[in-house]
Amino acid sequence: MTSYVVTKSKVKNLDGKVYHSRFLSGITIVISIPCTTLDSHILSQLKSRRCEEDKGVLYKNTELTVLFHALHADICSKLTLPGSVKSTGITGVDCHYYNKHFNLVFRVGKGTGSAARKIVSDAFKFMKPGTLRSSYELMLRSMGLKPKREEFNWCLNQLNSCLKADICVFVVGKINLGKTDSIRSDKLKVILNSAISKFTASKNESPSSVPDSQNNPAFVTPSSSMSVSGLNGFYVQEYIKILTKSAYLTEIANDKLVFHSPRFEGLMTRLRKKDALKRYVTQKYGKTKDGLTAVVLKTAADNCAVDAKTLFSVSSKVLKISDIADAMISALK
């Protein structure tokens, strides 16, 4: 008996995939909206409500990033109401920006198709950027910036365009949609159709003007960083946690793994020792055996370290320990 089942389906602009594994518990849902012009640093500041360090500084892509975060905050506030928690078992809603996708992450205690359907459909039901002007303006003011109506309209029109593009919906966990491929496929289509039926596109607004920030420099990622792609940033982050006993702070931002603590070069030297790296990978992942892919997919999704498009790709493979070691070695060159 196979330990996992993969189900795929596409309805209009929603591309869905479900990875069910008996080794997991609960489910995690990642909805990835394509957007090429956001900034992870600004998003991180907004998520942590730490806007003092750069207060009044207008980096490139600030306004659009603020509107995307306002969308996440509104969805989170509604999906975590007591009634929703009771019916879905949702335990948290998060967001991050990776691989040119804005990613909404939903962690759910109940591993059922009905819970997944309600969360996904409600998420799209509340994707109404046209209603977010007041929260958008409040967030900008908290950053010491002055909002402008015409710039909000421009951001709204950009977000509307992103929501019309192909959006990936990935579900991973212990979620049995049925005994046959056709039944599972039909149930996934029900989830996607439900989301589409609940979504109402916001109207584009005018007059609009390109935000001032688009003429400004982008936030400069610290030099103590390394470029990452796919899952290798997640793998290296996990290694650093073990190697430093979680004493070393890292963050995946703008497709780079950023090291916020000192002694970057010394840590990199330790990380690049291939024998120690391979020994760690064997010790951490060796006992998972045929559950390796499932564990990696769900942990990376839970940790906000990957987008749904990457999860789609990785879930089509059967990961081996050597794959993880090779990815880490490649990233650390």
Confidence band of 205 (pLDDT split at 50, 70, 90): very high
DSSP character string of 195-241: HHHH--PPPP-SS----GGGGSPPP---SSEEE--TTHHHHHHHHHH
Whole-number pLDDT of residue 184 = 97
Whole-number pLDDT of residue 132 = 98
With residue 256 as reference, give the H or E element that holds it: strand 256-259
Domain ranges of the chain: 4-215, 225-331
Residue pLDDT, tens place only, 90-136: 999 999 999 999 999 999 999 999 999 999 999 999 999 999 999 99
The percent of residues in the chain predicted with pLDDT above 90, rounded, is 90
Q: How far is CA 213 from CA 147, 186, 216, in A?
A: 11, 45, 5
Q: How far is CA 221 from CA 12, 145, 239, 255, in A?
A: 37, 21, 22, 10
Residue pLDDT, tens place only, 300-333: 999 999 999 999 999 999 999 999 999 999 999 9
Whole-number pLDDT of residue 53 = 58
Mean pLDDT, to the nearest integer, of 50-78? 89
Residue pLDDT, tens place only, 265-295: 999 999 999 999 999 999 999 988 889 999 9
pLDDT, the chain, mean: 95
**Does the pLDDT at position 166 exceed 90?**
yes
Region of 245 please: left (phi>0), alpha (psi -120 to 50) or beta. Answer: left
Strands 256-259 and 250-253, bridge-based pairing: antiparallel
Mean pLDDT, to the nearest integer, of 198-209? 96
**Does the pLDDT at position 74 exceed 90?**
yes
Whole-number pLDDT of residue 51 = 55
**Does the pLDDT at position 52 exceed 80?**
no
Range 4-215 classified under CATH 3.30.830: yes
Whole-number pLDDT of residue 73 = 97
The percent of residues in the chain predicted with pLDDT above 70, rounded, is 98
Whole-number pLDDT of residue 261 = 79
Confidence band of 2 (pLDDT split at 50, 70, 90): confident
